Protein backbone atom coordinates (compact mmCIF):
# COMPACT_ATOMS: atom_id res chain seq x y z
CA UNK A 1 0.00 0.00 0.00
CA UNK A 2 2.93 2.35 0.78
CA UNK A 3 4.23 1.77 -2.76
CA UNK A 4 0.86 2.75 -4.23
CA UNK A 5 0.74 5.95 -2.17
CA UNK A 6 4.29 6.82 -3.28
CA UNK A 7 3.38 6.29 -6.94
CA UNK A 8 0.24 8.42 -6.58
CA UNK A 9 2.29 11.16 -4.89
CA UNK A 10 4.74 11.41 -7.77
CA UNK A 11 1.93 11.23 -10.33
CA UNK A 12 0.27 14.13 -8.51
CA UNK A 13 3.48 16.19 -8.71
CA UNK A 14 3.74 15.40 -12.43
CA UNK A 15 0.15 16.53 -13.01
CA UNK A 16 0.84 19.88 -11.37
CA UNK A 17 3.93 20.37 -13.51
CA UNK A 18 2.41 19.22 -16.81
CA UNK A 19 -1.07 20.73 -16.52
CA UNK A 20 -1.53 23.48 -19.10
CA UNK A 21 -4.19 24.95 -21.33
CA UNK A 22 -6.26 22.03 -22.53
CA UNK A 23 -7.31 21.67 -26.15
CA UNK A 24 -9.93 18.92 -26.48
CA UNK A 25 -9.96 16.73 -29.54
CA UNK A 26 -13.20 16.96 -31.52
CA UNK A 27 -12.00 15.17 -34.67
CA UNK A 28 -12.79 11.49 -35.21
CA UNK A 29 -9.65 10.91 -37.27
CA UNK A 30 -7.49 12.00 -34.33
CA UNK A 31 -8.93 9.48 -31.90
CA UNK A 32 -6.10 7.20 -30.73
CA UNK A 33 -6.12 3.52 -31.61
CA UNK A 34 -7.66 1.49 -28.84
CA UNK A 35 -9.05 -1.90 -27.97
CA UNK A 36 -11.80 -2.19 -25.39
CA UNK A 37 -11.31 -4.55 -22.45
CA UNK A 38 -13.22 -7.79 -22.98
CA UNK A 39 -16.58 -7.48 -21.28
CA UNK A 40 -17.17 -11.21 -20.89
CA UNK A 41 -13.69 -12.44 -20.01
CA UNK A 42 -12.70 -12.78 -16.37
CA UNK A 43 -9.34 -11.48 -15.17
CA UNK A 44 -8.19 -15.12 -14.97
CA UNK A 45 -9.03 -15.59 -18.66
CA UNK A 46 -12.27 -17.53 -18.15
CA UNK A 47 -14.96 -16.65 -20.72
CA UNK A 48 -18.43 -15.87 -19.39
CA UNK A 49 -21.10 -17.68 -21.42
CA UNK A 50 -24.32 -17.43 -19.39
CA UNK A 51 -26.21 -15.12 -17.05
CA UNK A 52 -25.42 -17.17 -13.95
CA UNK A 53 -21.69 -16.83 -14.50
CA UNK A 54 -22.14 -13.11 -15.10
CA UNK A 55 -24.23 -12.55 -11.98
CA UNK A 56 -22.18 -14.77 -9.68
CA UNK A 57 -18.67 -14.03 -10.89
CA UNK A 58 -17.95 -11.39 -13.52
CA UNK A 59 -20.28 -8.69 -12.22
CA UNK A 60 -18.70 -8.62 -8.75
CA UNK A 61 -15.23 -8.67 -10.29
CA UNK A 62 -15.98 -5.60 -12.40
CA UNK A 63 -17.56 -3.69 -9.50
CA UNK A 64 -14.41 -4.33 -7.47
CA UNK A 65 -12.17 -3.06 -10.27
CA UNK A 66 -14.21 0.12 -10.68
CA UNK A 67 -14.10 0.62 -6.91
CA UNK A 68 -10.36 0.10 -6.64
CA UNK A 69 -9.29 1.99 -9.76
CA UNK A 70 -11.83 4.76 -10.43
CA UNK A 71 -14.64 5.67 -8.02
CA UNK A 72 -13.44 4.30 -4.69
CA UNK A 73 -15.08 1.86 -2.32
CA UNK A 74 -18.02 3.25 -0.34
CA UNK A 75 -18.68 2.11 3.22
CA UNK A 76 -21.54 -0.18 4.14
CA UNK A 77 -24.17 1.91 5.92
CA UNK A 78 -24.18 1.03 9.60
CA UNK A 79 -26.18 3.91 11.07
CA UNK A 80 -29.78 5.00 11.47
CA UNK A 81 -32.05 7.03 9.18
CA UNK A 82 -34.94 9.09 10.51
CA UNK A 83 -37.37 11.29 8.60
CA UNK A 84 -39.53 14.31 9.34
CA UNK A 85 -42.16 15.83 7.05
CA UNK A 86 -41.39 19.55 6.94
CA UNK A 87 -44.04 20.56 4.44
CA UNK A 88 -46.97 18.70 2.90
CA UNK A 89 -49.75 19.63 0.50
CA UNK A 90 -52.10 16.75 -0.28
CA UNK A 91 -54.24 18.99 -2.49
CA UNK A 92 -51.47 19.97 -4.88
CA UNK A 93 -52.43 20.74 -8.48
CA UNK A 94 -56.13 20.94 -7.61
CA UNK A 95 -56.04 17.69 -5.68
CA UNK A 96 -54.36 15.66 -8.43
CA UNK A 97 -51.12 15.23 -6.51
CA UNK A 98 -49.25 15.49 -3.23
CA UNK A 99 -46.12 17.55 -2.78
CA UNK A 100 -44.02 17.38 0.35
CA UNK A 101 -40.61 18.21 1.73
CA UNK A 102 -39.02 15.54 3.91
CA UNK A 103 -35.91 15.99 6.02
CA UNK A 104 -33.83 12.83 6.24
CA UNK A 105 -31.31 12.58 9.06
CA UNK A 106 -28.46 10.11 8.79
CA UNK A 107 -26.99 9.38 12.19
CA UNK A 108 -23.89 7.34 12.85
CA UNK A 109 -22.71 7.43 16.43
CA UNK A 110 -22.39 11.08 17.42
CA UNK A 111 -22.27 12.26 13.80
CA UNK A 112 -25.29 13.24 11.72
CA UNK A 113 -26.18 14.75 8.36
CA UNK A 114 -29.47 16.12 7.01
CA UNK A 115 -30.85 15.79 3.46
CA UNK A 116 -33.98 17.60 2.27
CA UNK A 117 -36.12 15.74 -0.26
CA UNK A 118 -38.65 17.42 -2.54
CA UNK A 119 -41.30 14.81 -3.30
CA UNK A 120 -44.18 14.81 -5.80
CA UNK A 121 -46.59 11.94 -6.45
CA UNK A 122 -50.04 11.54 -8.04
CA UNK A 123 -53.04 10.98 -5.78
CA UNK A 124 -54.01 7.86 -7.70
CA UNK A 125 -54.84 5.71 -4.70
CA UNK A 126 -52.25 3.13 -5.71
CA UNK A 127 -48.50 2.73 -5.50
CA UNK A 128 -46.73 4.41 -8.41
CA UNK A 129 -43.29 4.16 -10.03
CA UNK A 130 -40.99 7.13 -9.54
CA UNK A 131 -37.90 8.94 -10.75
CA UNK A 132 -35.14 9.80 -8.26
CA UNK A 133 -32.44 12.30 -9.11
CA UNK A 134 -30.15 14.93 -7.64
CA UNK A 135 -30.43 18.59 -8.63
CA UNK A 136 -27.66 21.17 -9.00
CA UNK A 137 -28.90 24.35 -7.34
CA UNK A 138 -31.46 23.48 -4.68
CA UNK A 139 -35.04 22.32 -4.37
CA UNK A 140 -36.29 25.91 -4.50
CA UNK A 141 -35.16 26.13 -8.14
CA UNK A 142 -37.72 23.42 -8.97
CA UNK A 143 -40.62 25.09 -7.17
CA UNK A 144 -42.22 28.53 -7.34
CA UNK A 145 -43.67 28.00 -3.85
CA UNK A 146 -41.84 30.12 -1.27
CA UNK A 147 -42.55 27.45 1.35
CA UNK A 148 -39.88 25.28 -0.28
CA UNK A 149 -36.79 26.52 1.51
CA UNK A 150 -33.60 27.83 -0.03
CA UNK A 151 -30.76 25.47 0.99
CA UNK A 152 -28.17 26.54 3.54
CA UNK A 153 -25.48 24.24 2.15
CA UNK A 154 -22.48 25.33 0.10
CA UNK A 155 -23.47 25.92 -3.54
CA UNK A 156 -21.58 26.71 -6.73
CA UNK A 157 -21.67 30.37 -7.72
CA UNK A 158 -23.99 31.12 -10.62
CA UNK A 159 -25.19 34.67 -11.15
CA UNK A 160 -28.12 33.62 -13.33
CA UNK A 161 -29.36 31.18 -10.69
CA UNK A 162 -28.76 33.71 -7.94
CA UNK A 163 -26.01 31.96 -6.01
CA UNK A 164 -23.31 34.27 -4.72
CA UNK A 165 -20.45 33.66 -2.28
CA UNK A 166 -21.43 30.00 -2.44
CA UNK A 167 -24.87 30.72 -1.02
CA UNK A 168 -28.24 30.20 -2.73
CA UNK A 169 -30.87 32.94 -2.84
CA UNK A 170 -34.51 33.56 -3.71
CA UNK A 171 -33.43 34.69 -7.18
CA UNK A 172 -33.12 31.05 -8.17
CA UNK A 173 -36.67 30.12 -7.22
CA UNK A 174 -38.44 28.24 -10.00
CA UNK A 175 -35.64 28.69 -12.52
CA UNK A 176 -35.13 24.95 -13.08
CA UNK A 177 -38.75 23.81 -13.33
CA UNK A 178 -38.30 23.17 -17.07
CA UNK A 179 -35.46 20.77 -16.21
CA UNK A 180 -37.71 18.89 -13.77
CA UNK A 181 -41.20 19.04 -15.39
CA UNK A 182 -43.04 17.54 -12.45
CA UNK A 183 -46.51 18.35 -13.79
CA UNK A 184 -45.89 16.25 -16.92
CA UNK A 185 -44.29 13.51 -14.82
CA UNK A 186 -47.30 13.44 -12.49
CA UNK A 187 -49.75 13.45 -15.41
CA UNK A 188 -47.99 10.39 -16.81
CA UNK A 189 -48.53 8.56 -13.51
CA UNK A 190 -45.06 8.83 -11.99
CA UNK A 191 -43.66 10.29 -8.80
CA UNK A 192 -40.57 12.48 -8.60
CA UNK A 193 -38.06 12.68 -5.76
CA UNK A 194 -35.16 15.13 -5.90
CA UNK A 195 -32.69 16.81 -3.59
CA UNK A 196 -29.75 19.19 -3.79
CA UNK A 197 -26.56 17.20 -4.37
CA UNK A 198 -24.41 19.53 -2.27
CA UNK A 199 -26.23 18.40 0.86
CA UNK A 200 -24.75 14.94 0.26
CA UNK A 201 -21.26 16.16 -0.54
CA UNK A 202 -20.15 19.70 -1.43
CA UNK A 203 -18.69 19.96 -4.92
CA UNK A 204 -15.26 21.31 -4.09
CA UNK A 205 -11.98 19.93 -2.81
CA UNK A 206 -12.55 19.91 0.96
CA UNK A 207 -10.31 17.01 1.85
CA UNK A 208 -13.45 14.88 2.27
CA UNK A 209 -14.13 16.50 5.64
CA UNK A 210 -17.75 17.47 4.93
CA UNK A 211 -20.97 15.83 3.76
CA UNK A 212 -21.31 12.06 3.87
CA UNK A 213 -17.55 11.56 4.17
CA UNK A 214 -17.62 13.26 7.57
CA UNK A 215 -19.82 10.44 8.87
CA UNK A 216 -16.79 8.16 8.48
CA UNK A 217 -14.05 10.66 9.34
CA UNK A 218 -12.39 8.24 11.76
CA UNK A 219 -11.35 5.99 8.88
CA UNK A 220 -7.93 6.44 7.32
CA UNK A 221 -8.11 7.30 3.65
CA UNK A 222 -6.61 4.79 1.25
CA UNK A 223 -5.92 5.04 -2.51
CA UNK A 224 -9.27 3.32 -3.16
CA UNK A 225 -11.30 5.32 -0.63
CA UNK A 226 -14.57 6.80 -1.86
CA UNK A 227 -14.65 10.29 -3.35
CA UNK A 228 -17.40 12.68 -4.47
CA UNK A 229 -19.07 10.69 -7.26
CA UNK A 230 -19.22 7.67 -4.97
CA UNK A 231 -20.53 9.93 -2.19
CA UNK A 232 -23.37 11.25 -4.32
CA UNK A 233 -24.23 7.72 -5.42
CA UNK A 234 -24.13 6.50 -1.82
CA UNK A 235 -26.53 9.30 -0.86
CA UNK A 236 -28.97 8.14 -3.54
CA UNK A 237 -28.93 4.69 -1.95
CA UNK A 238 -29.76 6.19 1.45
CA UNK A 239 -32.74 7.94 -0.13
CA UNK A 240 -33.75 4.55 -1.54
CA UNK A 241 -33.56 3.15 2.00
CA UNK A 242 -36.16 5.74 2.99
CA UNK A 243 -38.35 5.23 -0.07
CA UNK A 244 -38.68 1.53 0.66
CA UNK A 245 -40.79 2.49 3.66
CA UNK A 246 -43.06 4.95 1.84
CA UNK A 247 -46.57 3.69 1.06
CA UNK A 248 -47.17 5.82 -2.06
CA UNK A 249 -44.29 4.40 -4.10
CA UNK A 250 -43.81 1.12 -5.92
CA UNK A 251 -40.26 0.65 -4.67
CA UNK A 252 -39.64 -2.08 -7.24
CA UNK A 253 -40.01 0.55 -9.95
CA UNK A 254 -37.65 3.38 -9.04
CA UNK A 255 -35.57 4.91 -11.84
CA UNK A 256 -32.40 6.71 -10.77
CA UNK A 257 -31.50 9.59 -13.06
CA UNK A 258 -28.72 12.14 -13.32
CA UNK A 259 -27.37 14.84 -15.62
CA UNK A 260 -23.70 15.55 -16.35
CA UNK A 261 -21.55 14.81 -13.25
CA UNK A 262 -24.73 13.63 -11.56
CA UNK A 263 -25.24 11.28 -14.50
CA UNK A 264 -21.90 9.72 -13.58
CA UNK A 265 -23.20 9.41 -10.01
CA UNK A 266 -26.50 7.88 -11.17
CA UNK A 267 -24.61 5.25 -13.16
CA UNK A 268 -22.42 4.37 -10.19
CA UNK A 269 -25.51 4.23 -7.96
CA UNK A 270 -27.12 1.84 -10.44
CA UNK A 271 -23.98 -0.28 -10.59
CA UNK A 272 -23.61 -0.60 -6.82
CA UNK A 273 -27.29 -0.76 -5.81
CA UNK A 274 -29.46 -3.15 -7.81
CA UNK A 275 -32.60 -1.92 -6.07
CA UNK A 276 -32.75 0.79 -8.73
CA UNK A 277 -34.96 -0.81 -11.36
CA UNK A 278 -33.94 1.58 -14.14
CA UNK A 279 -30.89 3.78 -14.65
CA UNK A 280 -30.81 6.96 -16.74
CA UNK A 281 -27.68 8.86 -17.79
CA UNK A 282 -28.17 12.31 -19.30
CA UNK A 283 -25.04 13.77 -20.95
CA UNK A 284 -22.73 12.07 -18.43
CA UNK A 285 -19.66 11.98 -20.70
CA UNK A 286 -16.20 10.94 -19.57
CA UNK A 287 -16.26 8.98 -16.34
CA UNK A 288 -19.92 8.29 -17.07
CA UNK A 289 -21.31 6.65 -20.20
CA UNK A 290 -18.64 7.68 -22.74
CA UNK A 291 -15.74 5.40 -23.63
CA UNK A 292 -12.59 6.75 -21.95
CA UNK A 293 -10.24 5.30 -24.55
CA UNK A 294 -11.62 7.56 -27.29
CA UNK A 295 -10.12 10.59 -25.48
CA UNK A 296 -12.68 12.76 -27.28
CA UNK A 297 -13.79 15.99 -25.60
CA UNK A 298 -13.31 15.65 -21.86
CA UNK A 299 -10.60 13.13 -21.02
CA UNK A 300 -9.39 11.16 -18.03
CA UNK A 301 -6.32 13.39 -17.85
CA UNK A 302 -8.37 16.58 -17.85
CA UNK A 303 -10.66 15.33 -15.10
CA UNK A 304 -7.67 14.39 -12.95
CA UNK A 305 -6.21 17.86 -13.48
CA UNK A 306 -9.37 19.81 -12.68
CA UNK A 307 -11.70 17.66 -10.56
CA UNK A 308 -9.56 14.94 -8.96
CA UNK A 309 -11.77 14.83 -5.87
CA UNK A 310 -14.60 13.28 -7.87
CA UNK A 311 -12.55 10.08 -8.11
CA UNK A 312 -10.40 7.90 -5.88
CA UNK A 313 -6.71 8.71 -5.53
CA UNK A 314 -5.89 5.49 -7.36
CA UNK A 315 -7.43 6.96 -10.53
CA UNK A 316 -4.56 9.46 -10.75
CA UNK A 317 -2.26 6.66 -11.88
CA UNK A 318 -4.10 6.74 -15.23
CA UNK A 319 -3.36 10.39 -15.96
CA UNK A 320 -3.24 10.58 -19.78
CA UNK A 321 -3.04 6.77 -19.83
CA UNK A 322 -6.55 5.72 -20.77
CA UNK A 323 -5.35 2.60 -22.54
CA UNK A 324 -3.82 1.34 -19.31
CA UNK A 325 -7.16 1.35 -17.50
CA UNK A 326 -8.23 -2.23 -16.72
CA UNK A 327 -11.83 -1.31 -17.56
CA UNK A 328 -13.77 1.08 -19.77
CA UNK A 329 -17.21 2.58 -19.43
CA UNK A 330 -19.09 -0.01 -21.50
CA UNK A 331 -18.36 -2.34 -18.61
CA UNK A 332 -19.91 0.14 -16.19
CA UNK A 333 -23.06 0.26 -18.35
CA UNK A 334 -23.15 -3.54 -18.46
CA UNK A 335 -23.41 -3.60 -14.66
CA UNK A 336 -27.00 -2.37 -15.04
CA UNK A 337 -28.03 -5.58 -16.82
CA UNK A 338 -30.61 -6.99 -17.02
CA UNK A 339 -32.30 -3.78 -15.83
CA UNK A 340 -33.39 -1.12 -18.34
CA UNK A 341 -30.75 1.54 -19.04
CA UNK A 342 -31.17 4.79 -20.96
CA UNK A 343 -28.30 6.97 -22.17
CA UNK A 344 -28.91 10.39 -23.74
CA UNK A 345 -26.62 12.79 -25.59
CA UNK A 346 -26.83 16.31 -26.99
CA UNK A 347 -25.56 16.86 -30.53
CA UNK A 348 -23.74 20.07 -29.61
CA UNK A 349 -22.39 18.64 -26.36
CA UNK A 350 -19.13 17.46 -27.91
CA UNK A 351 -17.37 17.70 -24.54
CA UNK A 352 -19.41 14.65 -23.41
CA UNK A 353 -18.60 12.68 -26.60
CA UNK A 354 -22.07 11.66 -27.85
CA UNK A 355 -20.68 9.02 -30.19
CA UNK A 356 -18.59 7.57 -27.38
CA UNK A 357 -21.70 7.33 -25.22
CA UNK A 358 -23.56 5.50 -27.98
CA UNK A 359 -20.69 3.11 -28.72
CA UNK A 360 -20.53 2.31 -25.03
CA UNK A 361 -24.20 1.25 -25.16
CA UNK A 362 -23.48 -1.01 -28.13
CA UNK A 363 -20.48 -2.55 -26.41
CA UNK A 364 -22.50 -3.23 -23.22
CA UNK A 365 -25.20 -5.12 -25.09
CA UNK A 366 -23.66 -8.64 -25.03
CA UNK A 367 -24.44 -8.91 -21.32
CA UNK A 368 -28.11 -8.18 -21.99
CA UNK A 369 -28.04 -10.95 -24.58
CA UNK A 370 -26.97 -13.38 -21.84
CA UNK A 371 -30.28 -12.57 -20.14
CA UNK A 372 -32.26 -13.11 -23.34
CA UNK A 373 -32.78 -9.38 -23.87
CA UNK A 374 -32.00 -6.96 -26.66
CA UNK A 375 -29.64 -4.32 -25.31
CA UNK A 376 -28.99 -1.53 -27.81
CA UNK A 377 -31.02 -2.37 -30.96
CA UNK A 378 -28.91 -0.10 -33.20
CA UNK A 379 -25.25 -0.41 -34.14
CA UNK A 380 -24.99 2.92 -35.99
CA UNK A 381 -25.49 6.30 -34.30
CA UNK A 382 -29.17 7.17 -34.88
CA UNK A 383 -30.29 10.41 -36.54
CA UNK A 384 -30.99 13.45 -34.38
CA UNK A 385 -34.16 13.33 -32.30
CA UNK A 386 -34.95 9.73 -33.24
CA UNK A 387 -34.62 7.61 -30.09
CA UNK A 388 -33.95 3.87 -30.23
CA UNK A 389 -35.20 1.71 -27.39
CA UNK A 390 -34.40 -1.86 -26.48
CA UNK A 391 -33.56 -2.77 -22.92
CA UNK A 392 -30.92 -0.12 -23.50
CA UNK A 393 -32.36 3.12 -24.85
CA UNK A 394 -30.48 5.96 -26.50
CA UNK A 395 -31.08 9.28 -28.20
CA UNK A 396 -28.97 12.12 -29.49
CA UNK A 397 -31.14 15.21 -29.54
CA UNK A 398 -30.68 18.62 -31.07
CA UNK A 399 -28.99 21.13 -28.80
CA UNK A 400 -26.30 21.06 -26.19
CA UNK A 401 -25.58 20.13 -22.61
CA UNK A 402 -28.72 20.06 -20.48
CA UNK A 403 -31.63 18.09 -19.07
CA UNK A 404 -34.50 19.21 -21.29
CA UNK A 405 -38.23 18.47 -21.67
CA UNK A 406 -37.45 16.41 -24.79
CA UNK A 407 -35.20 14.17 -22.70
CA UNK A 408 -37.93 13.68 -20.11
CA UNK A 409 -40.44 12.72 -22.81
CA UNK A 410 -38.16 9.87 -23.88
CA UNK A 411 -37.53 8.76 -20.30
CA UNK A 412 -41.25 8.66 -19.61
CA UNK A 413 -41.86 6.66 -22.79
CA UNK A 414 -39.02 4.30 -21.85
CA UNK A 415 -40.45 3.86 -18.36
CA UNK A 416 -43.90 3.15 -19.85
CA UNK A 417 -42.25 0.50 -22.01
CA UNK A 418 -40.52 -1.28 -19.10
CA UNK A 419 -42.58 -0.46 -16.00
Residues 6+ apart with CB under 8 A from 191: 119, 120, 121, 122, 128, 129, 130, 131, 185, 248, 249
Q: Which of 285, 293, 294, 279 is nearest to 264 (CA)?
A: 285
Task: Give yes or no: 213 in active site.
Answer: no
Q: Exactly one of 260, 281, 312, 360 is catalytic; which is it?
A: 260
Please name every residue paired with 282 in a beta bridge, in sequence order, or none if there are none: 259, 344
Q: Answer yes or no: 260 catalytic.
A: yes
Closest CA to 318 of 66, 75, 20, 73: 66
397-401 long-range Cβ contacts below 8 angstroms, 24+ apart: 397/344, 397/345, 397/346, 397/347, 398/346, 398/347, 398/348, 399/346, 399/347, 399/348, 400/346, 400/347, 400/348, 400/349, 401/260, 401/283, 401/346, 401/348, 401/349, 401/351, 401/352
Contact 342, 411 (CB under 8 A): yes
Burial letters 160-195, b for 16+ CB under 10 A, else e: ebbbeeeebeebbbebbeebbbbeebbebbbbbbbb
Measured distance CA(124)–CA(408) in Å, rounded: 21
Q: Would you name the residues annotated as active-site residues?
A: 260, 401
Amino acid sequence: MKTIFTLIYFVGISIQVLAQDFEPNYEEDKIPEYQLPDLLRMENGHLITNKRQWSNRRRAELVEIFENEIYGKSPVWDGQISSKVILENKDYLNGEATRKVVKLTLKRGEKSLDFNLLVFYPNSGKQVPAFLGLNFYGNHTISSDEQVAVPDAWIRNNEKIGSFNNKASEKGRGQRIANWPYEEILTRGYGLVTMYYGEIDPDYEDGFKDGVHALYSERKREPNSWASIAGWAWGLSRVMDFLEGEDWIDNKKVAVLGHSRLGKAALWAGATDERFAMVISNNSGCGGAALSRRAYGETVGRMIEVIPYWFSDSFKVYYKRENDLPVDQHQLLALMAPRPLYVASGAEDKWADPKGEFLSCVAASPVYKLFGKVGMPATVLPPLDQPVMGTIGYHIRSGGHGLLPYDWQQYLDFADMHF
